[in-house]
């Protein structure tokens, strides 16, 4: 039987993390379990920085972006000695289990702690949507809305000036934010790790679009693929459009979570507590075909990510 659990947020923050913290806290309290909010991810854990949460400590956070707990990256958490220190602190404070809200790196930390005797459950908190084992991560929908809002605005000004807007979106090495926003905004070109990058092909396509009389063009590119400013200069130099680049950056990580993210985070938070109450550890929670599911973390990390081929095919049919 568990009496005390901890909750932490780790890695890049994402909108909806607070909704998950609230759901974990309230579901646990409802089961008579004490809850401790651990500050700044694994860093706060090894420094013993945590505070007890009552129901009201998580009031008014459902609609807030970011994470009230703070998040951090602690590369040293890969070391067994550091993990052992975390276990020592948890044992000292009599915390039986932890809910870790973060991405796949954070999941690895959660698995390591479980192997050392502290049951952990991972919730997928990242805007990248790059976790296999779930159709959607907490924060992806909000980030997508932010990107769509920005690209719609860029389209207005681009069409006034016969410009091509090159928009870099986040996603780490996952093209989901790019392809979903490309479809949502009717972009002319989407470039992701899945499509590959062929500069000549992009320039040829833009020349063709210019010749067909298009007033503007939008190219959405996943980060870490090319220098978007250099590409925009090439577009100005060798197509009829003048190129402008926009790196959306961390704006994509902020903002009030969408209702979809709030509900997803709440459902996942509930599932995490249910699993811990059943004595399960080393699992992560996902949503598959609108059902909340869980898998062993190792299994989820080894799964291939759901193919987006149909989305790319649809994009190609619609441009």
Q: Which residues are marked as active site? A: 128
* Cβ neighbours of residue 52 closer than 8 Å, sequence gap 6 or more: 34, 35, 36, 37
Least CB distance to ligand F6P at residue 304 (A)? 20
Q: How many residues bind ligand ADP (CB under 6 A)?
A: 18
Q: What is the bridge-based pairing of β-strands 242-247 and 119-124?
A: unpaired
User: Number of residues in contact with ligand F6P, rule: CB under 6 A?
Assistant: 10
Could you tell which of ligand ADP, ligand F6P, none binds residue 176, using a CB distance below 5 to 8 A set by kind?
Answer: none
Q: How far apart are CA 286 and CA 278, in angstroms?
A: 17
Q: Which stretch binds ligand ADP (CB under 6 A): 6-14, 156-164, 213-221, 236-244?
A: 6-14
Angle value at C-alpha 48, between 62 and 99, nearest 5 degrees: 40
Please give the distance of CA 155 from its chain centroid, rounded to a whole number.
25
Q: Which does 78 bind (CB under 5 to 8 A by kind): ligand ADP, ligand F6P, none?
A: ligand ADP
Q: Does 4 help bind ligand ADP (rule: CB under 6 A)? A: no
Q: Is residue 267 involved in binding ligand ADP (CB under 6 A)?
A: no
241 binds ligand ADP (CB under 6 A): no
Nearest position to ligand ADP, beta carbon: 105
- Alpha-carbon distance of 34 to 21, in angstroms, equals 13
Q: Report the nearest approach of ligand ADP to the CB of residue 73 (Å).
A: 3
| Residue the block writes with tokens 């947020």 | 9
Rounded CA-CA distance 44/203 in Å is 48
Which one of ligand F6P, ligand ADP, none is in contact with 253 (Cβ closer than 5 to 8 A by kind)? ligand F6P
Contact 17, 66 (CB under 8 A): yes
Rule CB under 6 A: which of 191-230 touch ligand ADP?
none
Distance separating alpha carbons of residues 13 and 70, to the nearest angstrom: 8
CA distance 281 to 99: 10
**Residue 81 sits in the site that holds ligand ADP (CB under 6 A):** no
Counting beta carbons within 10 angstroms of the beta carbon of residue 154, is it exposed (0 to 12), middle (13 to 18) or buried (19 or more)? Answer: buried
The token duo for 252 is 């994509």
Residue 158 structure tokens: 């681009």
Q: Which of 35, 47, 52 is CA-nearest to residue 74? A: 47
Q: Of 75, 196, 213, 304, which one interacts with ligand ADP (CB under 6 A)?
A: 75
Identify which range of 28-36, 101-109, 175-183, 247-255 contacts ligand ADP by CB under 6 A.
101-109
Q: Considering the rule CB under 6 A, would residue 126 count as an interface residue with ligand F6P?
A: yes
Report the residue number, 128 or 141, with the smaller CB distance to ligand F6P.
128
Minimum Å gap between C-beta 308 and ligand F6P is 17
Q: Does 305 bind ligand ADP (CB under 6 A)?
A: no
For residues 134 and 285, is the Cβ–Cβ distance under 8 A? yes
Instruction: Rule CB under 6 A: choose which of 9, 10, 114, 266 binds ligand ADP.
Output: 10
In contact, 239 and 263? CB cutoff 8 Å: no
The site for ligand ADP (CB under 6 A) is made up of 10-12, 42, 73-75, 77-78, 102-106, 108-109, 112, 126
The site for ligand F6P (CB under 6 A) is made up of 12, 103, 126-128, 170-172, 223, 253
């Amino acid at each position: 039987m568990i009496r005390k659990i901890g909750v932490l947020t780790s890695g890049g923050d994402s909108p909806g993390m607070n909704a998950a913290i609230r759901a974990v806290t309230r579901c646990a309290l409802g089961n008579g379990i004490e809850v401790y909010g651990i500050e700044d991810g694994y860093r706060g854990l090894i420094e013993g920085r945590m505070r007890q949460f009552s129901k009201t400590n998580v009031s008014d956070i459902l609609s807030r972006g970011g994470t009230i707990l703070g998040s951090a990256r602690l590369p040293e958490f890969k070391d067994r000695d550091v993990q052992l220190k975390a276990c020592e602190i948890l044992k000292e404070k009599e915390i039986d289990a932890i809910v870790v809200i973060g991405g796949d790196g954070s999941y690895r930390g959660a698995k390591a702690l479980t192997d050392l005797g502290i049951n952990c459950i991972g919730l997928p908190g990242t805007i990248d949507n790059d976790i296999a084992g779930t159709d959607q991560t907490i924060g992806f929908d909000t980030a997508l809305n932010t990107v769509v809002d920005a690209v719609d605005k860029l389209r207005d000004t681009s069409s006034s000036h016969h410009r091509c807007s090159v928009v870099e979106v986040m996603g780490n090495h996952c093209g989901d934010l790019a392809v979903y926003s490309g479809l949502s905004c009717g972009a002319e070109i989407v470039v992701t790790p899945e499509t590959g990058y062929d500069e000549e092909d992009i320039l040829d396509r833009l020349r063709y679009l210019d010749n067909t009389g298009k007033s503007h063009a939008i190219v959405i590119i996943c980060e870490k693929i090319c220098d978007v400013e250099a590409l925009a200069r090439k577009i100005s130099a060798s197509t009829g459009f003048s190129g402008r680049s926009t790196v959306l950056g961390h704006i994509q990580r902020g903002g009030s979570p969408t209702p979809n993210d709030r509900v997803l985070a709440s459902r996942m938070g509930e599932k995490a507590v249910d699993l811990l109450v059943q004595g399960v550890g080393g699992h992560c929670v996902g949503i598959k075909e609108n059902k909340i599911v869980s898998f062993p973390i190792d299994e989820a990390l080894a799964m291939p990510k759901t193919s987006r081929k149909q989305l790319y095919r649809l994009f190609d049919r619609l441009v």
